[in-house]
Each structure stands twice: as C-alpha cells, then as structure tokens.
Amino acid sequence: MKKVKFILPLLLVLVLTLMIFVPQEIDSYAVQSSASGMCVIDQKTKRILYSKNENLALPMASTTKVMTAITVLQNCDDLDELIQVDDASIGIEGTSIYLRKGELITVKDLLYGLMLRSGNDAATALAIHVGGSVSGFADMMNELASKIGAVNSHFMNPHGLDHKEHYTTAYDLALIAGYALNNPIFKEVVSTKSHVIEATNKSDKRYLSNKNRLLSSLDGCCGVKTGFTSKAGRCLVSACERNDRTTVCVVLNCGPMFEESASMLNSSFVDYEYVQLIDKNREIYNEYIIDKTEGKLHLYTDEDFYYPMLKSEKNKVSLKYNVSLDDRLEDESVGEVQIFIENDLIKTMKLYTMNKIDKLIDSKTLQINEILWEENLNEDQ
C-alpha cells in the first residue's frame, strides 16, 4: 500500500506537468498587440483581419495628417499653385519644416513636408489655404470622414496636436487610410522615402526623409504615416501591397509600433487568401414553372467578387438568391444574391436576367412571383 501511495502523487505530478508543457493548438490567425487600439483591414473589401479595441476613441497624433492630406487633395485642383506663408503658419508647436513669413511654396511641396517630415507648420499652411482657416478646414475633414464611414472620429486641427475633442479609432483610421490610398498622388507621396524641396524666395533647399522605417524594411510597404505625442503615445498607420492585395494596419499608443505592424502585415498575407466567391462569367440559373411549363431562369452578376478568407472559412460560404419574376427584359435587374460566411452577411450584389421574363397574368395557372434558393460553396469551388 505504501508503494501505491507513493506512485499516485508521482502520476498526478506527471499529468499536471504534461498539461503545462504540452504545446496548445493555437489558431494561425491569432495575433497579439501591445497597442491601446489596433486594426488591420483588407483595403478593397474593408474586412477586419485582426483587431483589438478597434472602436475605442483615442488621440492619434500626427497620423491625423492622413486625413489632412486626402482632404487637401480632394479640394485643391492645382498642386503646383504657390502659397504665400502668413503669420498663422509660423512657429507651430512640434515638428516643423521651418516655414518663413512671406515664403512662396507649392501645395505639392507642402504635402511632402506634411507626410515625410510631419511638419505642423505645413499642415497649418495647407489648412488655411484650402479651408480659409484651421477651423474651416477641420469642418471639411469631419465631413469627409463621415462620407468615408469613419463615424467615430472628430477632427479639430490638421496636425494632430492634442485636443480633448480631437480623436479617432483604429478602425476609422484604417478606413481613412484605405480610402486615401486610392488617390494616386497620396500614394506617391506617402511611399516616397526622400524628397527635396527646391530653394524658395525665403529658404535654401530642404532635404526631407520619411520617418516610416517600414518603407525600407518591409517588402511591399507603400506608406503611410507615423505619429507621436505624450498623450497619444507612438502611433503608426502602415500599408503593404503584395500580389494585387493591399492591407492597412493601424496601431495607436503602441511602443514597438514598427515591429508589431510589420508582423501583423506579414501575417495577413499568410493567414488570409483571396478567394473568388462570384464569377461574373458564370451563368446562374434556377428552374421555375410558368403556365405549368418547366423552364430555366438565366441570371448573371456584372462583376467578380473576391474576399480575403481564412482556410477554415472556405467551406462555410453560402449564396442566397432572391429574385422577383415579373415583366422584365434582358439585362435588367431582377433581384440580388447575398453572400454569407456562416451567418455573417459579407456582400450583396445585384442579379440581372439573361432572358426575357413574361409577366404572369393568368390566375388559373401556377404562378411564382418570387423565388428564393440557396447555394453552398465548398472548398473546391
């Protein structure tokens, strides 16, 4: 009996040891971040790939300038126009390109000073030029943010210096950056590693270097902006483009912002695969009955649809069709297809008929005014 009593505790210790040291199975898409708020999205579909406190309102320091730049670009037709710098743009707190009163400088050079050097004076000069005043420009920023869908953000200035009513969320800022990257001039500026502002009437040449280290260290990095204040902490909006896909990453108040952002951007291209869920060249049809005569309803979509998906999601996709049968000609919209991953609706697309549909008017015949059906996609499709 003494031996048994001795062996049982040993077995218990062994079991507990195995429970502690045997590696646990972890999902490949799980990521960790020290950021107060983090969000990684696919630019095209806006799908959230990774997130942490993505809807928490936080200060964002100079990453504000992503919104500043795109607001300027959408409201300024001539980027070669010369701006004369006034008193209001001189001596702004924080980083600067050291503008001088009366200096003549182009909008485009100010954009480079804004996004590469993070010049708060450049931000102010642009805001006054485009919006008439800093407050007027902030109104334009807020209007554009609402249009983009960044509904939990509020801008009070163009540079990002701390203000209690100046904030965004990681998700909103990712949406804003994804939107801005569709503008070719914005993309050109934020992906530039260095730029020279030629001598002006008040200054010698200015040599600018981009503060975003990922441009030199991360394959496919295409921008976009760093930021820091004591209140906001270290902030970074970054983007990476590989194989015709662009992923946008936002970290707010994140010490190792470059390291964590690079890790998550790299992971996004491994964990998620772009899968074609709708092929516009594929004919969709459903059998139906009119006047007790069997026939086929031929339909199509007018665009392809690709979506970033985890491997585990590929066999969880379903397509639900909702079609109204009434008097329609060819190439007219007759309904829609909804695309689901399990119970989550990810996309709704219009359906068009490839054949004429005659109106059903004989009440004595079998009539189907609306048809619904579902199609499950599997991993092989």
Give pLDDT tens digits for 246-257.
999 999 999 999
Q: Residue 283: which of 370, 355, 186 has the closest Cα?
A: 355
Give, for 193, the enclosing helix (H) or strand (E): none
Between 110 and 351, name the one with better pLDDT.
110
Is residue 12 predicted with pLDDT exceeding 90?
Answer: no
What pLDDT is recorded for position 18?
Answer: 30
Domains, in order of start, for the chain: 37-272 (3.40.710.10), 279-375 (2.60.410)
What pLDDT is recorded for position 9?
Answer: 37
Between 358 and 187, name the one with better pLDDT.
187
Whether 28 is a known active-site residue: answer: no
Burial 230-244, CB ≥16 within 10 A → b, else e: eebbbbbbbbbbeee
Whether 36 is a known active-site residue: answer: no
Confidence of residue 332 (pLDDT cuts 50, 70, 90): confident
User: Of the listed 36, 62, 96, 238, which one is catalytic?
Assistant: 62
Q: Which residues pair with 237 in a beta bridge?
A: 225, 250
Q: Can you read off the two tokens belonging to residue 338?
A: 């909804």
What average pLDDT does the segment 139-167 reach?
98
Is residue 15 predicted with pLDDT exceeding 80?
Answer: no
What average pLDDT does the segment 330-358 reach?
84
What pLDDT is recorded for position 376?
Answer: 80
Give the position of tokens 């429970």: 19
Whether 65 is a known active-site residue: answer: yes
Is residue 199 predicted with pLDDT exceeding 50?
Answer: yes
CB atoms within 10 A of CB 91: 13
133 secondary structure, DSSP code: S
Residues with Cβ within 8 Å of residue 351, at least 6 apart in sequence:
284, 299, 300, 301, 321, 323, 333, 334, 335, 336, 337
Give, for 32, the enclosing helix (H) or strand (E): none
pTM of the model: 0.85
Q: Mean pLDDT lowest for which of 1-5, 103-107, 370-374?
A: 1-5
Which pLDDT tens digit goes with each residue over 50-93? 999 999 999 999 999 999 999 999 999 999 999 999 999 999 99
What pLDDT is recorded for position 222?
Answer: 97
What pLDDT is recorded for position 124?
Answer: 98
Look over the chain and give the mean of its residue pLDDT values, rounded to a whole number: 86
Establish whether the linkage from the previous residue to 224 is cis, with ω within 30° of 0.
yes
Which pLDDT tens digit goes with each residue over 169-179? 999 999 999 99
Confidence of residue 1 (pLDDT cuts 50, 70, 90): very low
Q: Mean pLDDT lowest for which of 51-65, 133-147, 366-380?
A: 366-380
Let me know: does 335 contact 325? Beta carbons within 8 Å.
no
Q: Mean pLDDT lowest for which of 32-46, 248-262, 363-377?
A: 363-377
User: Of the listed 36, 51, 89, 118, which one is catalytic?
Assistant: 118
Is residue 229 predicted with pLDDT exceeding 90?
Answer: yes
**According to DSSP H, which parts of 59-101 are helical?**
65-73
What pLDDT is recorded for position 379?
Answer: 47
What pLDDT is recorded for position 355?
Answer: 65
Rounded distance between C-alpha atoms, residue 179 and residue 327, angstroms = 40
Single-letter residue type at 63? T
Cβ-defined contacts of 213-217 (< 8 Å, 24+): 213/258, 214/238, 214/258, 214/261, 214/262, 215/191, 217/258, 217/262
Which pLDDT tens digit goes with each residue over 293-318? 556 777 889 999 999 999 999 899 99
Give the position of tokens 């030629």: 198
Would you mind telling me the total number of residues written for the chain in this entry? 381
User: Of the listed 52, 65, 187, 225, which one is catalytic?
Assistant: 65
328 secondary structure, DSSP code: B
Q: Of 117-126, 299-308, 371-380, where does the model show the most confidence?
A: 117-126
Burial 251-288, CB ≥16 within 10 A → b, else e: bbbbeebbebbbbbbbbbbebbeebebbeeeeebeeeb
What pLDDT is recorded for position 7?
Answer: 37
What average pLDDT does the segment 140-159 reach?
98
Confidence of residue 324 (pLDDT cuts 50, 70, 90): confident
